[in-house]
Amino acid sequence: MNEQLLADEARYVMQTYKRAPVEFVRGEGALLFDSEGREYIDFLGGISVTSVGHCHPAVVNAIREQSGQLQHVSNLFYTAPMVELARRLSESSLGGKVFFCNSGTEANECAIKIARKAARARGVENSEIISFEGDFHGRSYGSLSATPGLSKNPDFAPMLPGFSSVPFDDAAALREAVNDDTAAVLIEPIQGEAGVFPLSDETLVAAREACDKSGALLIFDEVQTGVGRTGSLWAFEQGPVRPDVITTAKALGGGVAVGACIGNSQTGEILAAGDHGSTFAGGPVAASAALAVLDLVDDPAMLRRIRALGDRLTEGLASIEQVVEVRGRGLMIGMRLADGIVSSEVNSALLENGLVANAPRPDSLRLLPPFVLTDEQADHAVTVIADVLAGYHPVESK
């Protein structure tokens, strides 16, 4: 590892991340290459971003062509890629209007504003937004206030008023919490940062019914689950209910920063001129990259392939003695390790053995591989995980 790079990072970059001691210099498909020429299979995808693989030729071409033609003019003018992207996002999901932004956090910020304005229109002055414990919605003050695990950190108090949470997947608690003052239920259909925990159908139905009864909006944060990750373009398509608003980012740009908040025929009409904005949002380069990603992912054959790869990996991982649970859907996979095995140690060993993964909680690893993974790469990854875990002796039986 380049000592000067380590020293400069420590000297000049705010130390908000713990980085693994690897410098990546190139990516191609499901593979990453470090500065010492070592090859890795990427089972993290930049945290669910590079879902069509690193440097997919269609995404590279779209960025190249658009950046040679027009990069930015602001939202004070019309640009075709942005309008076309809005059409594709709307028609593939809730059918309403779209607001563009540059990240998942900002997409949720927009959804929160929509919810509060809609509540005010119903005559509710101090409305509340309810999430589940363990949810992650972002790092700005609105989305942070809706992230129960982080919002209690006194270093950043005070949080915004009007946010509360109920225990994860507790349908009864959610029904009880939602009332006439509720602006929205803002939830992840499958919690990602918490370690891959899907909500039950019962809870999703309870959320829909409670919102319908009170007039609150049901908002799905699909920042991690969206754009094919679970084997359908949007995770909500595989569940029993339709949300009123969805938010997306991460995989949408294939590696370029872009986010969107998508409404239905009613929620897409709530924000008016001057209510919200963002200088870079929906810019031609990001929108062109996202259109190239949607061309690849919004395709039944690709979505079938994601489900098949997910099944293949789940079966392989479940057969490893030290893996006691495999959770998730499609290529969003969490695996719990047997008692006494520390996931961060395993994760470091995997990296040393050429597999990039992630340890979101002490007992679990998270896998978010790209959709362009070959069967051989999938099987090889399972073998690497099994070989690394063979060095650990479970103290818990299955």
- In the complex, the residues that contact ligand PLP under the rule CB under 6 A are 47, 103-105, 108, 136-138, 188, 192-193, 221, 223-224, 249
Q: Which is nearer to ligand PLP, 116 or 137 (CB)?
A: 137
Nearest of 234, 374, 225 to residue 309 by alpha carbon: 374
Q: State which residue has the least CB distance to ligand PLP.
A: 104
Q: Which is nearer to ligand PLP, 44 or 381 (CB)?
A: 44
Q: Which is nearer to ligand PLP, 184 or 338 (CB)?
A: 184
Q: What angle do CA 263, 63, 27 make, to 5 degrees?
A: 105
Cβ contact 167:199 at 8 Å: no
**Smallest distance from ligand PLP to CB 143, Å:** 7
Neighbouring C-beta atoms of residue 292, cutoff 10 Å:
24
Q: How far is CA 86 from CA 48, 96, 106, 250, 364, in A?
A: 21, 9, 16, 16, 37
**Smallest distance from ligand PLP to CB 62, Å:** 20
Q: Which is nearer to ligand PLP, 106 or 124 (CB)?
A: 106
Q: Which is nearer to ligand PLP, 214 or 371 (CB)?
A: 371
Q: Which is nearer to ligand PLP, 128 or 188 (CB)?
A: 188
Residues, the chain, total? 398
Q: Which is nearer to ligand PLP, 305 or 329 (CB)?
A: 329
Q: End-to-end alpha-carbon separation of the chain, Å?
A: 40
Site of tokens 């993974």: 373
User: How buried is residue 133: exposed, middle or buried, by Cβ count under 10 Å (0-12/13-18/19+)?
Assistant: middle
Cβ contact 187:247 at 8 Å: no
**Smallest distance from ligand PLP to CB 147, Å:** 8
**Smallest distance from ligand PLP to CB 203, Å:** 17
Nearest of 85, 23, 24 to residue 281 by alpha carbon: 85
**Smallest distance from ligand PLP to CB 89, Å:** 16
Instruction: Give CA–CA dist 186/201, Å, rounded.
Output: 16
**Structure token digits, residue 240:** 């029993």
DSSP 54: B
DSSP 157: P
Cβ contact 196:210 at 8 Å: no
**Smallest distance from ligand PLP to CB 394, Å:** 30
**Smallest distance from ligand PLP to CB 108, Å:** 6
Q: Which is nearer to ligand PLP, 214 or 224 (CB)?
A: 224
**Smallest distance from ligand PLP to CB 250, Å:** 6
**Structure token digits, residue 200:** 């039950």
